[in-house]
Amino acid sequence: MDKEQWAAVDQYINTLLDPPDAALDDALRASAAAGLPEIAVSPSHGALLTVLARAVGARRILEIGTLGGYSAIRLARALPPDGRLVTLEVNPRHAEVARSNIARAGLADRVEVRLGPALASLAALAGQGGDPFDLVFIDADKAGYTEYLHASLRLSRPGTLIIADNVVRQGRVIEPGDEDVNVRGARRFNEALAAEPRLMATIVQTVGVKGYDGLAIGVVLG
Ligand code: SAH
Ligand code: DHB
Ligand code: MG
């Protein structure tokens, strides 16, 4: 079992279950052409986000870390026509590419890309006092994950699903000597998740076209 096989099986899953989609292909193409890093969730993980959002009947979704809008499109596809997704992005160029990709996918009416550091946008959202989010997807800078988790909890209700990408980092999270900033951020987040009485959570290890990593999935308790 190696990376090539993980990628081949990922491809098999996509061929079976994820029909070709012009808006998603265009979003990835436009993002690459604009020079954005190619670190969007994989197609099968994008499909998982759609399934989970639909499973919880999400009407309000919060995403932290937009990049070119690939995962935002996957998540927004699960929304009803009057649903809403707010996605937070600090890089103006990423936000601009994302807005264009989201508009091309026909989702501009449902998706708001908010430019600025996520922590500031999260504080602003809390200050606005809107309805709680039904699903939160955390996928920005790993060093900030713990703070994003705590801010997300303030914007949640019992039953809100909180998902975080990249929390296993090729298994490096269990290497105590590994002080890489992303590994440390993921490790600190996983410990905060474990210590959080308001959440029931687990971590799913994943393999596929992006290699070996993991997704944290938790539900806010009543
Ligand atoms: N969710 C996207 C990938 C996000 S990549 C997808 O799967 O399609 C991570 C993104 O987080 C990058 O675009 C990066 O610019 C953004 N980011 C990094 N630090 C941030 C911060 N402090 N606030 C908001 N966004 C941030
Ligand atoms: C990387 C992957 C991600 O999914 C992400 O959100 C950030 C970085 C990476 O492979 O470097
Ligand atoms: Mg990620």
pLDDT at 195: 98
Tell me the residue type at 88: L
Strands 199-208 and 84-89: unpaired
Task: Report d(CA 59, CA 134) in Å as an integer.
Answer: 7
Task: Residue 120: count other Cβ atoms within 10 Å of its Cβ.
Answer: 12
pLDDT at 181: 98
Nearest CA to ligand 2 atom 6: 139
| Span 44-74, pLDDT tens digits | 999 999 999 999 999 999 999 999 999 999 9
Nearest CA to ligand 2 atom 4: 39
In 3D, which of 43, 75, 48, 45 has the Cα closest to residue 59?
Answer: 75
Q: Angle 181-195/145-154 helices, nearest 10 degrees?
A: 40
Task: Report d(CA 43, CA 74) in Å as an integer.
Answer: 9
Tell me the residue type at 8: A
| Span 2-19, pLDDT tens digits | 999 999 999 999 999 999
**Structure tokens that stand for 166 in this block:** 């990249």
Ligand nearest to the CA of 67: 1
In 3D, which of 85, 54, 57 has the Cα closest to residue 71?
Answer: 85
What residues have their beta carbon closer than 5 A to ion ligand 3? 139, 165-166
Task: Report d(CA 39, CA 62) in Å as an integer.
Answer: 19
The pLDDT profile of the chain, 222 residues, written as one tens digit per residue, is 699 999 999 999 999 999 999 999 999 999 999 999 999 999 999 999 999 999 999 999 999 999 999 999 999 999 999 999 999 999 999 999 999 999 999 999 999 999 999 999 999 999 999 999 999 999 999 999 999 999 999 999 999 999 999 999 999 999 999 999 999 999 999 999 999 999 999 999 999 999 999 999 999 999
Q: How far is the centre of ligand 1, averaged over its atoms, from the C-alpha of 40 (Å)?
A: 9
Query: Ligand 2: does its nearest atom lie under 6 Å from the Cβ of 134?
Result: no
Q: Which residue has the tokens 């264009």?
A: 100
Query: Ligand 2: does its nearest atom lie under 6 Å from the Cβ of 63?
Result: no
Q: Is 184 exposed, middle or buried (0-12, 13-18, 19+ CB in 10 A)?
A: middle
pLDDT at 81: 97
**Structure tokens that stand for 54 in this block:** 């639909």
What are the φ/ψ torsions at residue 186 (nearest 5 degrees)? -65, -40
State the pTM of this model: 0.98
Tell me the residue type at 83: G
